[in-house]
Every structure is written in structure tokens, then in C-alpha cells.
Structure 1
Amino acid sequence: MQERSKRVILLVDDDEDDRFIVSQAFKLHAADNELIVVESGHQLLRLLEEGILPTLILLDLNMPILSGLETLALVRQQHSAANVPVIILTTSDLAEDKAKAASLQANDFITKPATASAYKLIIYHLHQRWLN
């Protein structure tokens, strides 16, 4: 029986602490996935242009230079990645941000939890909804 290749998940977040927490959560609860971590929308777009086609993109909204919403709009314009599920993972819980993300075809909107242990539930949700 052939071994199934790992799913590639791209995490885009400018905050070093958040990148660390999410990376650790994936190591503990989703080691069967390959997590690629970048700090900006520009780095994400570069990876897509280089032919990296992820299974899922986790995208922060509040980033300098190119915001998460701007990045999402550009991802949806990329022919190769236009149909890749993009999950907004942000500190915001504003209805306005949720509406803007939905209008740009974000597939889900998750507010970052206050504790590292709560990421286990987020990863479970991602597996059930997007990675099964």
C-alpha cells in the first residue's frame, strides 16, 4: 500500500509568538501535515508563484504592508490557488472583518484563542472540515 503524501498547510502570520504557538500545536496535534510558515502576504504569493499548491491556507488579517484581506483578494486571483481553502485565523472578532473576509471568499473565519491548549480544538475543526 502506498503511503499518502502529507497535506501542505501554509500559515501566514506576522506575529512571531502566534507563528510559534500554531507551529507547536500542529506538531502536537497534526504531525501528519506539513506546515509551512511565512511572515507576510508577499511571501505567500511568492510561494504560490513558485508552484507550491497548499491544501489549506491559514491567514492572519492584521499584517503590515499587505493586509490579510488584500492577500486574500490576490490569492483568489491566482489561477493555481483560487480554489484553495483560505481560513482567516486572526485576533479580530469584528463583524465587519468577517463580512469583508466572506465577500472575498474566505472559507472560514476563526478568532485566535487566548490559550495555546485551545488550538487543539481549532486543529480538530480544521481536520473535520478541511483536511479529511
Structure 2
Amino acid sequence: MKPIDILLVEDNPADIMLTEEAFAEADFPHRLHVAHDGLEALDFLRQQAPFENAPTPDVILMDLNMPRLSGLETLDVLKEDSALRHIPVIVLTTSRAEQDIWRSYNLHANSYIPKPVTLSEFVEVIRTFQTYWFATAALPPRQQP
């Protein structure tokens, strides 16, 4: 199985580290790329400096509460961009607020996952994520026909 490219859009260093640990524990071939806010994520996705050689991710994990450009604002821009809208976006956030869930799905998020608190719960979420998105669901090909 070839490695899966995942873009994590997250500003909290502790949550980045927890996500990295959970992916390492889940043990499947992947490359985790990190953007620290929505503007950096857009630069990565559009392969703008300093990300000229960035791969197009197979999936995006997006926090909602970030500086400069929030997750919801970033999601709105992504889903309006014909070159990027095909990339599945999974909101991964601490918010369990119904309004955030509704707004995320109204902006065409593909899934909404509240962040687990412990590493073991996080690992289980990542394993479930991996099974669904990379073993069950059919992702769009990296190159459009």
C-alpha cells in the first residue's frame, strides 16, 4: 500500500503532537503534513512558497479554531475552488457545538469528528478514520481524468 498524504491544519502544538503520536500508533503508511492555520493550508494546497513541492493530500484534517483564517473560513475557500474541492475535508476539533457541526456540513465538510481527550481514544479514532477513508471509501484519484 502506498503512503497516504494527509494535511493536518492545526495551530495547537500539543494537538499536533497528539495527532502525530496517534498516527504513529495506528501504524499504516502515511505522510502527515502540517499547516498551522488556514492561510498556510491554502499556500500548501496551491503549492505556493514555501510549499512549491508539496503533494496534493488525499485528505485534509481541519481544526476550526485557528488564527488568521479559521477552519470554517478555510473550508469555505476550499470548497469554492474547483482545483481543491474534490479533496475530502474532515473537521477534527474540540468543538461539539451544534452550530459548528451544522456550519461545517453546510460548507461541505465530508465528516465532523470531535477530538478525543486521551491518546488511546485518539488512536482508536485514527484507526477508524484509516479503515473508513483508506480501506472502505473510494477517494478521488490524485490526477483528474
Which TM-score applies when normalising by structure 1?
0.92
| Count of matched residue positions in the alignment of Structure 1 and Structure 2 | 129
- Which residue of structure 2 aligns with residue 46 of structure 1? 43
Corresponding residue to 2:85 among 68, 82, 87: 82
Aligned residue for 2:134, secondary structure, equals coil
User: Are 1:12 and 2:12 an aligned pair?
Assistant: no
CA distance in 2 between counterparts of 1:85 and 1:96 reads 21
CA distance in 1 between counterparts of 2:3 and 2:80 reads 26
Q: Which runs of 5+ in 1 are unaligned?
A: none
CA distance in 1 between counterparts of 2:114 and 2:123 reads 14
User: Are 1:99 and 2:102 an aligned pair?
Assistant: yes
**Residues 76-119 of structure 1: CA deviation (Å, up to 9, x unaligned):** 12222211110000000011000000000001111111111111
**Contact 2:78–2:84, Cα closer than 8 Å, also in 1:** yes
Question: Match for 1:57: what amino acid?
Answer: I
**Contact 1:13–1:63, Cα closer than 8 Å, also in 2:** yes
**Contact 2:92–2:112, Cα closer than 8 Å, also in 1:** yes
Corresponding residue to 1:60 among 58, 63, 80: 63
**Contact 1:75–1:82, Cα closer than 8 Å, also in 2:** yes
Q: CA deviation at 1:30?
A: 3.4
CA distance in 2 between counterparts of 1:33 and 1:79 reads 25
CA distance in 1 between counterparts of 2:116 and 2:5 reads 23
CA distance in 1 between counterparts of 2:109 and 2:39 reads 18
**Residues 7-53 of structure 1: CA deviation (Å, up to 9, x unaligned):** 10000111010000001111121341111112111111011111631
Q: Which runs of 5+ in 2 are unaligned?
A: 48-53, 136-145
CA distance in 2 between counterparts of 1:103 and 1:68 reads 13
Identity rate, percent: 36
- Which residue of structure 2 aligns with residue 22 of structure 1? 19
Question: Match for 1:65: what amino acid?
Answer: R
